[in-house]
Amino acid sequence: MNLESYPPVFRQQNTENPQSTDLECINLDNCTIKEEIQEFGPVPVIDLQSLNLDNLEEACRNWGLIRLVNHGIPLTLLTQLQEQSKKIFSFSFESKQSIISNPLSYFWGTPALTPSGTALEKAPKNMNWVEGFNVPLSQISQFQAGDPTLESFRLLLEEYGRHLTRIATTVFEAMVKKLNLNPEQLKPYLSESSGLIRVYRYPPCSIADETLGMEAHTDSSVLSILNQDQGEGLELLKDDKWLHIDPIPSTLILNLGDMMQAISNDEYKSVTHRVKTNKDTERFSICYFVFPGEGSVIQSSRYKPFTYSDFQAQVQQDIKTIGCKIGLDRFKLT
């Protein structure tokens, strides 16, 4: 294990006596309240080459999370992205701090970031056993990567970003067809230029049963699209039980976020999910998020009119003051 590469809070030399006992990294509530089950009834699979609108609608209403196949992203690109990200995470902590620079940002311990990409000052209640970097796609061409590995990763991310924009637009347009909403009004709700990518590594944790890589949350996005490596850990809360979302090579996981729930007047649900840690192995994932256009006001029968910036500001304030995200409930019409 390459301890130098981990942020100091994640360096556990002695698994018998983990340093983390005096850290607030243990999220016992989230870990133990729900019974765990294996992935049984299959997560709905959506074939992007022959999109079936009825199946997609049903998946959005009943699951909020789907497995995408035939998405058109070459397997070589997915594999190269994973390989390069592993290489970058293996750099020393200090070098990651210096080379992952504006407009990218490097963070650890929390996925809650300010709009400029730095970790929020008051982290969530619990330490999240994760490090990552944030990549705003619209600014990625301005990134001056001094390091050759980072430069080749930047080029891969640009190509990947183009695929994700295509996929998100296709799926969003198909999803909203089944909602009784005015298509013109919906257009600004998905802004291609808002796309961002988070690249994550979840270090091993000696007390993996009690420590979350990412605590239970819903995404604030319209849609999120996840490319996970072969490490297990992603779980979805469904019917009050945690369901493992096992990695399957060359497939992607797409989940709905809070903005989609609001746009659809709660007909489609933003799903609660979390990431467990593993005792001996690292896990890697790359997640894409897309949001409504800046200034576009979300009109919904269930919520007060709000923009994504209003929502984001509220989430940030809640995390700073009470340590967690309240989310859509803050905007609900009473």
By the rule CB under 6 A, 68 interacts with ligand AKG: no
Residue 226 interacting entry, from ligand AKG, Fe ion, none, C-beta within 5 to 8 Å by type = ligand AKG
Nearest distance from C-beta of residue 274 to Fe ion, angstroms: 8
Q: Which residues pair with 245 in a beta bridge?
A: none
Provide the 8-state DSSP code for 246.
-
Q: Which is nearer to ligand AKG, 172 or 186 (CB)?
A: 172
Q: Which is nearer to ligand AKG, 247 or 292 (CB)?
A: 247
By the rule CB under 5 A, 219 interacts with Fe ion: yes
Residue 9's nearest CA partner among 131, 117, 105, 123 is: 131
Separation CA 262–CA 27 (nearest Å): 28
* Rg of the chain taking only CA atoms, in angstroms: 19
Among 137, 226, 254, 259, binds ligand AKG (CB under 6 A): 226
Q: Which amino acid appears at position 231 of this protein?
A: G
Residue 234 interacting entry, from ligand AKG, Fe ion, none, C-beta within 5 to 8 Å by type = ligand AKG
The DSSP bridge pattern shows strands 241-244 and 234-238 to be: antiparallel
Q: What is the token pair recorded at 112?
A: 């809650």
Return the active site residues.
283
CB 45, CB 37: distance < 8 Å: no
By the rule CB under 6 A, 275 interacts with ligand AKG: yes
Provide the b/e sequence for 140-169 (b: ≥16 CB within 10 Å): beebebeeeebeebbebbeebbebbbebbe
Q: Which is nearer to ligand AKG, 275 or 315 (CB)?
A: 275
Among 20, 105, 206, 228, binds ligand AKG (CB under 6 A): 228
**Binding interface with ligand AKG (CB under 6 A):** 111, 198, 200, 214, 219, 226, 228, 234, 273, 275, 285, 287
What residues line the site for Fe ion (CB under 5 A)? 219
